[in-house]
Structure 1
């Protein structure tokens, strides 16, 4: 849980969450707008203003429980000329934006090292960037879980046939229930946590291979 970490790192975590959530939701809105859906833009969601995207309860949950949410971006598929393709790209845009942020954050950490910036100084951004990278990788992996209402589930919805999609929609209501059960029973440590850890480790290794 992020909340259990030292108070000294809490500002880094909060700032990282605000940036990560804001860019994530903006990415959904931007890609939907580019595919012809003005819904999010008309509702003021095509912006980098965190106030338009942050859900206070969802932000608190990510501190306490290790997962949370922002305000979902409204998407009207009727505007899309190719609904399935647009749907997949709109859904993937959010997690992908977190992966890009993690990549940039890791690059910043490498730059600090190569510049020889000493730790513990006013110019040492390493502790912040370290949290920034880990949180964005966590959000990338978490949002790709194939459970409603996460982006991973939405991607699957658009990849399957209309018949399967209709069948899946009947069980969407159980998505939140599944999360609660996993948390309350502690099963998240055997399911969600390993997924996030493995995906994060995989991309950490890719970043290392790129920058070193």
Structure 2
């Protein structure tokens, strides 16, 4: 767990924690900025069109990251009625796309910067975290970006997913599923990370 690194390897803890916080902030900002640009004032009304991590971090989600190894940021509030079908799709896709772009930038920097220990550690950590965030959020299960993308592509399914998410215990059900499926999900993410590292020649 991340919290255990605080005593065993404080440097690694700081690097991973900062990379997580900043990557989550960029992910949520991408959702908010895209919605704002497409004409939905909701994210700006809630102060979410910002890169300030404080605006995006969720106390419970952050605690879970520290003690359980997985967590979440505060979802960006949007009004699909202001966005339409395709606007909703682009808003949902903006978060994972932002993480893919960060991972790509890290891959480029790995190729052009001198390969010092600290450079490799930071860039590989940031790249790995953003690959995980992009891949994980594209899983088409409720509350994740992948379900909203799928819902925009298949409107009847989107309505069913929205009804499920509106249920009072939907969050607990989804988190329970993620916890039970953490091993296969983890193996898939490791495979994706290995593929990305192979592509960039690291």
Query: TM-score of the superposition, structure 1-length normalised?
Result: 0.82
**Structure 2, unaligned stretches of length 5 or more?**
none
Alignment-derived partner of residue 189 in structure 1: 183
Deviation of 1:182 after TM superposition, in Å, equals 4.7
Any idea what the Cα deviations from partners look like across 1:13-47, whole Å, max 9, x if unmatched? 11101110110011001111111111111221111
**Separation in structure 1 between the aligned mates of residue 138 and residue 178 of structure 2, nearest angstrom:** 17
2:38 equivalent among 16, 35, 38: 35
Matches within 5 A, 1:134-149: 134-149=128-143
Number of residue pairs matched by the alignment: 196
Alignment-derived partner of residue 24 in structure 1: 27
Distance 1:205 1:85, change over 3 A: farther
Alignment-derived partner of residue 125 in structure 1: 119
Matches within 5 A, 1:5-24: 5=5, 6-24=9-27
Deviation of 1:135 after TM superposition, in Å, equals 0.9
**Separation in structure 1 between the aligned mates of residue 107 and residue 31 of structure 2, nearest angstrom:** 23
- Retained in 1: the 8 A contact 2:147–2:161? no
Query: TM-score of the superposition, structure 2-length normalised?
Result: 0.86
Matches within 5 A, 1:59-208: 59-80=62-83, 83-112=84-113, 115=114, 118-119=116-117, 124-161=118-155, 163-172=156-165, 173=167, 174=170, 176-183=172-179, 185=180, 187-190=181-184, 192-208=185-201
- Retained in 2: the 8 A contact 1:138–1:200? yes
Any idea what the Cα deviations from partners look like across 1:38-83, whole Å, max 9, x if unmatched? 1111221111111111113212322332321111111111212xx1
Higher helix share: 2
Distance 1:103 1:63, change over 3 A: farther
Any idea what the Cα deviations from partners look like across 1:109-135, whole Å, max 9, x if unmatched? 2222xx3x543xxxx332122211111
